[in-house]
């Protein structure tokens, strides 16, 4: 418990601190290796931990007057409210929500067109290839493209910030549990 | 079929079984019997290994035998399966893979139960996981059965039954002895064999047509007897509006079902981090997408080279299109090349079935032991003893699930494999997906909402299948003599998936329970950052 309080002071805690750091979150992304997602990944977990020596924690700490159990719960609530986490969540949602809407409606449009407009789908394009065949190939292409876009977005915009939050959160929960993690 | 085919195919298959059993013994040599090891293989697989294993887990007899058969018989309409099976992976990648890896331990229920009152939620999610797995297993068993019927030249009888039983027995051995580590390696070996075999066949097919895909399509259309209609939608799902609605229903089930399949979710627990889970999903999308592109070519190739009459004569549902195509590409019946290729494809198909069956059995035995058993008698014994007993239960649950799947597989042996898998997907999408999505993304979700979401999707999905033309009331159904068909569609997805989401919402808004904001914060923070992930 004591250690938690010490840490609170050290980290200069509070949302202000996280707010300052917000601007940085996009920047370190450029340092991350631009590996091609289709390449063989490197040995397992090797670069999962690249953020280990990350800058000081940016989380608001638990308040002193709470007892340990309540504070362990509190940690997650406070992390959730922190600007750093809101930023990670926002980035995730701003990519995933439009993405899901896009590919699901494109897929449903394809299925509905195949059932209700067979005339259109049977229209020839080149040789034996018709609109329906092109639509299937287009579904494959968009799937591959979205996969690439998602991994790229996650790697450049989310991974580093999420990893920092992970260490900080684990640090905080460990302390509130008196090192019994 | 001549004796040569059979002998060689059985030899090759015997080789595969020997190798996989070797892997199983080797892997289980050093086992310590911990739950972590049994369910997840110690979470130490690399993304590439896991990507191959997912491919091996996902591409089932339904894809290798069923979908090619559907394309060969019905042309374009078979392609819907391929597109649905692939696009579904975007749902997995975007919404499920990383988040589930971050906040679960072994099963789907882990993710949901973390926020809720544990007992009812675990029982509900565990039950639906087992049901989905059993349905999926039935499809694989039917695939095994029709393959054997082809190999041994008999369409029914003891040989087929014994094969299904043999496959069941093997899977029990793999799973109960080797756990996740053996299952994973079997899936990796199978994925390599499957992809290799598919590429080889495609090359041979394209060589036959001098690389002219256009001519292949034209030949397929001519030979099918449907002309250009073969290359456009509508042959199987055209005509009546019921059939068209069925098509849409199936499409929804396919795209939403994958993210609710327990054996797919459990694969993401075998890698160390969420980032590795994402990369394994990327690997599998690449491999699965490539495989399906080749499947399309091979399906049309079977129509062009073998012809629908011969396909129908061998298996009415088209499940044997792939081996027949191989026989022809190798030089026809009686030739050495034909014999070898046929045997290779048959052995690959067996390997496919075994690997998938092992994966599904493992996932469902995890649900039985970790969700159902552990919840129903969580009291006596220390933590450690309890975990060991749980693994013992999981091993014996594999046996029980195997028996149920074998029995149902013998009953359903005349249905198309891809169609049966469509049912499993529909149930997964109705019962598992809503509760998973609500738990991850809805702050106000409550215990009652979770329980209702599961049963509100599971029961309608199963009920509608029971009342559908598949079970009764038409010549092709399971019980053709009786008629209790009240639901016109073969696939229940279009009704039951929205019902699952609706039930979850209704249960939540009508419950008195205040949603626990701190628990949701924990789920949200853990799912997006990986804090506290095991």
Q: What angle do CA A61, A166, A6 make, to 5 degrees?
A: 30
At B146 the pLDDT is: 73
C-beta atoms of A147 and B285 within 8 A: yes
Q: Using CB atoms within 10 A of its CB, is residue A27 exposed (0-12), middle (13-18) or buried (19+)? A: exposed
Cross-chain Cβ contact A127/B217 below 8 Å:
yes
Chain A residues touching residue B84 (CB < 8 angstroms): 107
Q: How many residues appear in chain A?
A: 181
Angle at alpha carbon of residue B329, lines to B325 and B334, rounded to 5°: 95
Answer whether B531 sits within 8 Å of A80, measured CB to CB.
Answer: no
pLDDT at B22 (0 to 100): 85
pLDDT (tens digit per residue) in A88-99: 999 999 999 999
Q: Residue B112: which CATH number?
A: 1.20.1730.10
Please list, residue by residue across A136-168, b when 16 or more beta carbons sit within 10 angstroms of its beta carbon and e when fewer do: beebbebbbebbbebbebbbbbbbbbbbbbbbb
Contact state of A170 with B532 under an 8 Å Cβ cutoff: yes
Number of domains in chain B: 1
Q: What is the pLDDT of residue B52?
A: 96
Count CA within 13 A, CB hemisphere, residue B72. Answer: 34
Per-residue model confidence (pLDDT) at position B154 = 54
Predicted local distance difference test score (pLDDT) of residue B281:
96
Residue of B nearest to A114 (CA): B233
A145 touches chain B (CB under 8 A): no
The overall average pLDDT reported for chain B is 86
CA distance B529 to chain A (A): 5
- For B269-301, how does the pLDDT look when each residue is reduced to its tens digit (9 = 90+)? 999 999 999 999 999 999 999 999 999 999 999
* B179 domain-assigned: yes
pLDDT for B123: 92
Contact flag B93-A150 (C-beta cutoff 8 Å): yes
Does any domain span residue B296? yes
Domain extent for B21: 3-368+382-426
Nearest to A115 among B228, B244, B525 (CB): B244
The confidence score (pLDDT) of residue B82 equals 92
Q: Residue B274: what pLDDT?
A: 92
DSSP state of A34: -
Among the partner residues B232, B289, B529, nearest to A166 by beta-carbon distance: B529
Q: Chain B: residue nearest A101 by CA?
A: B91
Q: Is A99 on the interface with B (CB under 8 A)?
A: yes
Q: Determine, yes or no, domain membership for B262.
A: yes
How far is residue B302's CA from residue B325's CA, in Å, rounded to a whole number?
5
Q: What is the pLDDT of residue B484?
A: 82
pLDDT for position A62: 42
Yes or no: say if A138 and A29 are a contact pair by the CB < 8 Å rule.
no
Please give the pLDDT value at position B175: 83
Digit-coded pLDDT (tens) for B415-428: 767 677 888 999 99
Within a domain: B345:
yes
Distance from CA of A168 to the nearest CA of B (A): 8
From B37, B38, B89, B34, select the one nearest B59 (Cα to Cα): B89
Q: Please tell me the distance in Å from A108's CA to the nearest CA on chain B.
A: 8
Q: Are the C-beta atoms of B530 and A163 separated by less than 8 Å?
A: yes
- SS3 for B305? helix
Name the stretches of chain A with pLDDT < 50.
1-66, 179-181
Query: Given an 8 Å threshold on Cβ–Cβ distance, is B525 in contact with A132?
Result: no
For chain A, domain boundaries: 2-40+47-176
| Per-residue confidence (pLDDT) for residue A1, from 0 to 100 | 39
pLDDT 10s per residue in chain B (534 long)?
456 666 777 788 788 888 888 887 887 776 667 888 888 888 889 999 999 999 999 998 778 888 898 899 998 988 988 999 999 999 999 999 999 999 888 889 889 888 887 889 999 999 999 999 988 888 888 777 777 776 666 555 676 777 777 777 887 788 888 888 888 988 999 999 999 999 999 999 999 999 888 899 999 998 888 888 888 888 877 778 888 898 899 999 999 999 999 999 999 999 999 999 999 999 999 999 999 999 999 999 999 999 888 888 887 778 888 888 998 998 877 788 888 888 888 888 888 888 888 899 899 988 998 888 888 876 544 555 677 788 888 888 888 888 888 888 777 766 767 677 888 999 999 999 999 999 999 999 999 999 999 999 999 999 998 888 877 777 767 777 788 888 888 889 999 999 999 999 999 999 888 888 888 998 999 999 988 877
Tell me whether residues B87 and A128 touch, CB distance under 8 A.
Answer: no
Which of B52, B93, B222, B275 to mutate: most A Cβ within 10 Å?
Answer: B275
């Amino acid at each position: 418990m004591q250690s938690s309080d010490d840490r609170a002071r050290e980290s200069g805690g509070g949302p202000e601190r996280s707010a300052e750091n917000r601007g940085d979150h996009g920047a370190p992304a450029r340092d991350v290796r631009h590996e091609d997602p289709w390449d063989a990944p490197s040995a397992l977990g090797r670069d999962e931990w690249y953020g280990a020596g990350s800058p000081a924690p940016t989380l608001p700490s638990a308040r002193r007057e709470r007892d340990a159990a309540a504070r362990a719960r509190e940690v997650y609530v406070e992390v959730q409210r922190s600007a750093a986490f809101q930023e990670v969540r926002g980035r995730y949602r701003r990519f995933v929500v439009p993405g899901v809407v896009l590919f699901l409606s494109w897929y449903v449009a394809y299925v509905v067109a195949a059932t209700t407009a067979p005339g259109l789908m049977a229209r020839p394009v080149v040789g034996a290839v018709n609109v329906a065949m092109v639509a299937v190939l287009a579904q494959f292409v968009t799937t591959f493209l979205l996969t690439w876009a998602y991994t790229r977005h996650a790697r450049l915009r989310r991974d580093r910030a999420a990893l920092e939050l992970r260490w900080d959160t684990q640090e905080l929960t460990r302390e509130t549990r008196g090192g019994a993690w | 079929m001549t004796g040569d085919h059979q002998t060689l195919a059985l030899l090759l298959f015997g080789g595969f079984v020997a190798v996989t059993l070797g892997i199983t013994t080797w892997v289980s040599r050093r086992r310590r019997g911990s739950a972590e090891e049994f369910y997840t293989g110690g979470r130490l697989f690399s993304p590439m290994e896991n990507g191959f294993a997912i491919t091996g887990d996902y591409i089932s007899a339904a894809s290798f035998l069923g979908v090619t058969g559907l394309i060969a018989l019905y042309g374009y309409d078979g392609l819907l399966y391929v597109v649905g099976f692939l696009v579904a992976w975007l749902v997995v990648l975007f919404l499920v893979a990383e988040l589930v890896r971050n906040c679960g331990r072994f099963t789907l229920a882990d993710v949901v139960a973390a926020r809720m009152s544990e007992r009812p939620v675990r029982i509900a999610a565990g039950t639906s996981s087992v049901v989905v797995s059993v349905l999926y297993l039935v499809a694989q068993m039917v695939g095994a059965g029709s393959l054997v019927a082809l190999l041994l030249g008999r369409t029914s009888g003891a040989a087929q039954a014994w094969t299904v039983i043999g496959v069941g027995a093997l899977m029990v051995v793999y799973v109960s002895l080797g756990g996740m580590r053996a299952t994973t390696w079997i899936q990796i070996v199978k994925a390599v064999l499957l992809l290799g075999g598919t590429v080889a066949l495609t090359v041979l097919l394209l060589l036959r047509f001098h690389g002219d895909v256009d001519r292949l399509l034209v030949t397929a259309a001519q030979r099918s007897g449907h002309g250009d209609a073969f290359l456009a939608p509508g042959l199987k799902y055209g005509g009546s509006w019921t059939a068209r609605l069925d098509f849409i229903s199936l499409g929804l089930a396919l795209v939403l079902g994958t993210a609710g399949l327990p054996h797919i979710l459990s694969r993401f627990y075998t890698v160390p981090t969420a980032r590795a889970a994402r990369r394994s999903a990327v690997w599998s999308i690449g491999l699965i997408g490539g495989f399906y592109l080749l499947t399309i070519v091979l399906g049309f190739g079977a129509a062009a080279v073998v012809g629908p009459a011969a396909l129908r004569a061998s298996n009415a549902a088209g499940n044997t299109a792939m081996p027949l195509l191989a026989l022809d590409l190798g030089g026809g019946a009686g030739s050495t090349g034909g014999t070898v290729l046929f045997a290779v494809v048959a052995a690959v198909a067996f390997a496919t079935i075994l690997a998938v069956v092992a994966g599904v059995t493992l996932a469902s035995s995890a649900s039985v032991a970790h969700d159902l058993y552990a919840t129903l008698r969580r009291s006596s014994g220390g933590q450690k003893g309890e975990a060991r007993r749980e693994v013992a239960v999981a091993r014996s649950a594999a046996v029980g699930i195997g028996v149920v799947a074998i029995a149902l597989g013998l009953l359903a042996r005349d249905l198309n494999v891809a169609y049966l898998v469509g049912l499993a997907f529909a149930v997964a999408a109705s019962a598992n997906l809503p509760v998973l999505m609500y738990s991850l993304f809805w702050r106000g979700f409550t215990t009652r909402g979770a329980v209702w979401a599961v049963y509100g999707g599971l029961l309608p999905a199963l009920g509608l299948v029971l009342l559908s033309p598949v079970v009764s009331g038409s010549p092709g159904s399971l019980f053709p003599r009786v008629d209790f068909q009240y639901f016109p569609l073969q696939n229940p997805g279009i009704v039951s998936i929205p019902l699952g989401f609706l039930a979850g919402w209704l249960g939540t808004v009508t419950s008195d329970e205040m949603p626990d904001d701190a628990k949701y914060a924990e789920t949200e923070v853990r799912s997006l950052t990986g804090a506290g992930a095991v």
